[in-house]
Amino acid sequence: MLPRVILLTGATGTVGSALLRRLVASGETVRCLVRDPKRLGGERVRVQLALGDLGDPGSFRNALRGVDTVVHLAASIRDQPRGSIEELSAVATLRLVRAAERGGARRFVFFSALGASRASRTRFFRAKALAREAVERSGLETVVFEPSIIYAPGDPWLTLLGRLGLLPAVPVAGSGRALFQPIWAEDAADCVAAALTSKGAGRYELAGPQTLSYNDFVHAALGPRPLVHVPLPAVRAALRAVERVSGPAAFATWEEAELMEEPMTTARGTADAERLGVRPQPIGAVLGSG
């Protein structure tokens, strides 16, 4: 029997890179759909490469040839030249699901976001809700993860926070009171790896062991710092102006800042991760701040 081929999208991302290391180490045959293989670092010589883009559905067919399982992590929280948040995070998922069905794949693993619904305040959450519906309505065996905030030392978000931490007071968009249960990317990757070795469809909420407001999270990441809360209309006007000047290279966008106002908690806490044999770490243990 031929080994199963796993198509992984988003392999260069925070969760994807952690997952890819695990899959390669366990001897899986992995094909990565990537825009730029260089961003895979040393792993690029250990995987099959499929050049592609969420904004180019034509690239999905080749990528899916002979694939048994799709792990679809790629998504975008900002508009890109090749597609809007909705096109890249919702429509592309629907197209990938359809292409996977046509191509004979058996299983589709997808990352939505905890609390995402069609009525969510942010474009990204609404897109993730639509994408999740498309996945779960498909004829494939589906595994859906709904994570709270995912973090890893050195990820783009903590890196930006680190830079903001150099200011006399750390700017926080809005009240900073929305609640999260941050989960380390390595723990999230362990959950996906565990789901890939078990059978059947499923839905798992991924949350860390602590419930923190965004304000608490900033303190957990940076230590005690004065915060300055910037009213959302002022954040929106400022970041829209930054985007007009900097284009796709903007250090932050309004859509990204607004995500900090989307609460992402579950009453189930770490139960689903533990069901997969993973005990998520507290943030202090990961960042060395606790």
Binding site for ligand NAP (CB under 6 A): 10, 12-16, 35-36, 39, 53-55, 73-76, 80, 82, 88, 111, 113, 147, 149-150
Q: Which is nearer to ligand NAP, 170 or 185 (CB)?
A: 185
Instruction: Name the 3-class secondary structure at 209.
Output: coil
Please report how close the Cβ of residue 68 comes to ligand NAP at its closest, in angstroms: 21
Task: Tell me whether residue 102 is exposed, middle or buried, using C-beta atoms within 10 angstroms of its C-beta: 0 to 12, 13 to 18, 19 or more.
Answer: exposed
Q: CB count, 10 Å around CB of 39?
A: 14
Would you say 85 or 169 has its CB closer to ligand NAP?
85
Q: Write down the least CB distance from residue 194 to ligand NAP, Å.
A: 17
- Strands 212-213 and 179-180 come out as antiparallel
Torsion of CA 117, 123, 127, 128, to 10 degrees: -60
Integer Cα distance of 24 and 31 in angstroms: 10
Token pair 């995070």: residue: 89
**Beta carbon nearer to ligand NAP, 113 or 134:** 113
Closest contact distance (angstroms) between CB of 219 and ligand NAP is: 18
Shortest-Cβ-distance residue relative to ligand NAP: 13
- Closest distance between ligand NAP and the C-beta of residue 1, in Å? 30
Query: At its nearest, how many Å lie between ligand NAP and the CB of residue 288?
Result: 20
Helix/strand/coil for 150: strand
**Minimum gap (Å) between residue 116 Cβ and ligand NAP:** 8
Residue closer to ligand NAP (CB basis): 55 or 103: 55
Residue 277's φ and ψ, nearest 5 degrees, are 85, 15
The smaller minimum CB distance to ligand NAP, of residues 109 and 235, is found at: 109
**β-bridge pairing 141-147 and 202-206:** parallel
First to last CA, the chain: 49
CB-nearer residue toward ligand NAP: 160 or 234: 160
